[in-house]
Amino acid sequence: MRKKLGVKHRYVSKTSGKKIYNWVKLGMLIVFIIGLIPVVSLDEFGELFFWYLFSYLILSNAFDAFMEWKYLERSKQYVITSALWVIGLSTMLVYVFVLQ
The domain ranges of the chain are: 14-97
Which of the four pLDDT bands, split at 50, 70 and 90, describes residue 11? low
Type of residue numbered 32: F
pLDDT of residue 35: 93
What's the CA gap between 48 and 39, in Å, rounded? 7
Mean pLDDT, the chain, rounded, equals: 83
User: 43-71 pLDDT, tens per residue?
Assistant: 776 788 888 888 999 999 999 888 888 88
Type of residue numbered 22: N
Which CA distances in Å does 6 have to 1, 2, 20, 24, 67? Answer: 8, 6, 27, 29, 20
